Chains A and B, each alone.
Chain A
Amino acid sequence: MAFSRKCVPFTPFDMDLSKATIAIVTAAGVHQKDQEAFNIADELGDLTYRLMGEDVESSNLMVTHHHYEHEDADSDINVVFPIDRLRELQADGFIGGIARKHIGYMGYTMRLKDMYEQTAVQIANEIDKGSRADAVILTGG
Chain B
Amino acid sequence: MEDTALVTASQAGDLEAFKTLFEQHRRTVLGIAYNYVKNLEDAEDILQETFIKAHHSLHQFKIHDQARFSSWLYRIGVNCSIDHVRKQKRKKEKISAMKDLHQGIAQRNPSDPEHRRHMKEIRQKVDQAMTKLSPRQRMIFQLKHDQQFSIKEIAAVMECSEGSIKKQLFRAVGVIKAGLKNFLGEGRYEM
- Is the pairing of A and B real? no
